[in-house]
Amino acid sequence: MLVQQILKSKPQQGVLTVSPDASVAEAAAILADRRIGSVVVSEDGGKSATGILSERDIVRELAKSGGDCLQKSVGDYMTRNLVTCNSQASVQEVLTQMTEGRFRHMPVVDNGDMIGLVTIGDLVKAQLSEVAMEKEALEGMIMGH
């Protein structure tokens, strides 16, 4: 299965972004309101990704410097060295990258434009669906259907 198939099946198209100038408190409110684990940081409103800020980034900084970090800018704490994939990447490739890199969210970039975001949950769900279809097909072959 390819990443583009996952993006088509997601209920919300596009990527939720914040400016690097937004406060960490604003980003945390978005994460809480939307019940999501990360937000892509974009200087141009979503065409390209400058970085990503996750719940983990916020919690680590809270533990290190306390609540004052909530007034700082997202750009101060975001992960800058983004790992991205394109829509033609396989689920297995992206799962491997996420596992090795120990992160759970990956922007999808085609021709220099950010077109979506996949999560480890999206990928696992797709993988489970594929395994279930293969199981049904094998059972059908064994039963002679």
Indicate the residue type of 131.
V
Q: Which helix (H) or strand (E) holds 41?
A: strand 38-41
Cβ atoms of residues 31 and 39 within 8 Å:
yes
Alpha-carbon distance of 114 to 129, in angstroms, equals 26
Does residue 143 have a pLDDT over 90? no
The domains of the chain, with CATH numbers, are 3-143 (3.10.580.10)
Does residue 30 have a pLDDT over 80? yes
11 confidence band (pLDDT: 50, 70, 90): confident
pLDDT of residue 85: 96
In this prediction the pTM is: 0.83
Token code pair at residue 115: 């077109």
55 confidence band (pLDDT: 50, 70, 90): very high
Q: How many residues belong to the chain?
A: 145
How many other β-carbons are positioned within 10 Å of the β-carbon of residue 125? 14
Alpha-carbon distance of 89 to 2, in angstroms, equals 6
45 confidence band (pLDDT: 50, 70, 90): confident
Alpha-carbon distance of 130 to 7, in angstroms, equals 16
Does residue 2 have a pLDDT over 80? yes
Does residue 133 have a pLDDT over 80? no
Does residue 132 have a pLDDT over 80? no
Would you state the torsion angle of the CA atoms of residues 74, 76, 78, 82, taken in this order, to the nearest 10 degrees? 130
pLDDT of residue 145: 65
CA distances from 8 to 30, 40, 134 (A): 23, 19, 21
pLDDT of residue 14: 74
Least confidently predicted of 21-30, 47-56, 129-138: 129-138
Token code pair at residue 128: 């489970």
Kindly report, residue by residue over 70-93, the tens digit of the pLDDT.
Answer: 999 999 999 999 999 999 999 999
